Chains A and B, each alone.
Chain A
Amino acid sequence: MPSSHLSHPSPPAVADGVFRPRPVLVIGLLLLSVLAGLPALQRVDLLSLLAWGGVTLVGLIGLGFAGRGRIEAEAFAPHGTGDLDTPGLKPLLQALLPVWRTQVTLAREHTEEAAGTLVHDLSALTSQFDAAGFGGDAGSGSAVGGRTQELLGECENKLRPVLQSMGEIADSHKEVAGSFRGMMTVTDELRGMADEVARIAQQTNLLAINAAIEAARAGEAGRGFSVVAAEVRRLSQDSADTARRIAQRIEQVTSMMSSTSAAAVQSAERDALSMATTGVRVEEVLGHVHELGEGSQQLIAQGQAIRSSIESLVVGLQFQDRVSQMIGAIEQDMARLGAAVDAGEVPAPQSEWLQRLEQAYTMRDQRQHHGRGTHAAGRTAAAAPQAVFF
Chain B
Amino acid sequence: MAKTILVVDDSSSLRALVKMSLSRAGYDVLEAADGRQALAQLDQAAKVHLVVSDVNMPAMDGITFLQEVKKHPRHRFTPVIMLTTEDSGTRMAQAKAAGAKAWLLKPFKPPMLLDAVSRVLPN
Chain A positions near chain B (C-beta within 8 angstroms): 112, 115-116, 118-120, 122-123, 126, 130, 135, 137-138, 311, 314-322, 324-325, 362-364, 384-390
Closest to B15 in A: A119
A318→B84 CA distance, assembly (Å)? 11
A324→B11 CA distance, assembly (Å)? 9
| B110 touching A314, Cβ below 8 Å | yes
Closest to B14 in A: A321
From B12, B89, B110, B112, give the contact of A387 (CB < 8 A).
B112
| B102 touching A389, Cβ below 8 Å | yes
From A135, A318, A362, give the contact of B17 (CB < 8 A).
A318
Q: Does B65 contact A (CB under 8 A)?
A: no
The smallest beta-carbon distance between B108 and chain A, in angstroms, is 7
From A120, A135, A385, give the contact of B24 (CB < 8 A).
A135
Chain B positions near chain A (C-beta within 8 angstroms): 9, 11-14, 16-17, 19-21, 24, 55-56, 84-89, 92, 95-96, 100-112, 115-116, 119-120
From A315, A316, A363, give the contact of B87 (CB < 8 A).
A363
A324→B106 CA distance, assembly (Å)? 13
A122→B19 CA distance, assembly (Å)? 12
The smallest beta-carbon distance between A290 and chain B, in angstroms, is 32
A137→B25 CA distance, assembly (Å)? 9
From A115, A130, A388, give the contact of B13 (CB < 8 A).
A115
| A325 touching B12, Cβ below 8 Å | no
Having A314-B17, A362-B56, one finds 14 other A-B pairs with CB under 8 Å, namely: A112-B11, A116-B13, A119-B17, A123-B16, A138-B111, A314-B21, A318-B17, A318-B108, A320-B11, A325-B85, A362-B55, A384-B89, A387-B105, A390-B96
| A388 touching B109, Cβ below 8 Å | no
| Chain B residues near A320 (CB-CB < 8 A) | 11, 13-14
From B20, B86, B102, B111, give the contact of A388 (CB < 8 A).
B102
| B103 touching A387, Cβ below 8 Å | yes
Closest to A320 in B: B13
| B17 touching A317, Cβ below 8 Å | yes
- Judged by DSSP, the binding face of A is helix
A385→B103 CA distance, assembly (Å)? 9
| Chain A residues near B24 (CB-CB < 8 A) | 126, 130, 135
A98→B20 CA distance, assembly (Å)? 37
Closest to B107 in A: A318
Closest to B89 in A: A384
The smallest beta-carbon distance between A268 and chain B, in angstroms, is 60
| A321 touching B85, Cβ below 8 Å | yes
| Chain B residues near A135 (CB-CB < 8 A) | 24
From A116, A315, A324, A388, give the contact of B16 (CB < 8 A).
A116
The smallest beta-carbon distance between B11 and chain A, in angstroms, is 5
The smallest beta-carbon distance between A45 and chain B, in angstroms, is 15
Of listed B13, B96, B109, residue having the most chain A CB within 10 A? B13
Given A126-B24, A322-B85, A386:B13 Cβ within 8 A? no
| B86 touching A386, Cβ below 8 Å | no
| B110 touching A119, Cβ below 8 Å | no
The smallest beta-carbon distance between B51 and chain A, in angstroms, is 14
Given A130-B24, A362-B87, A119:B109 Cβ within 8 A? no
| A126 touching B20, Cβ below 8 Å | yes
A137→B16 CA distance, assembly (Å)? 19
| A386 touching B16, Cβ below 8 Å | no
The smallest beta-carbon distance between B84 and chain A, in angstroms, is 7
| Chain A residues near B12 (CB-CB < 8 A) | 112, 116
| Chain B residues near A137 (CB-CB < 8 A) | 111
| Chain A residues near B16 (CB-CB < 8 A) | 116, 119-120, 123
| Chain B residues near A116 (CB-CB < 8 A) | 12-13, 16
A120→B85 CA distance, assembly (Å)? 22
Given A138-B111, A322-B85, A384:B105 Cβ within 8 A? yes
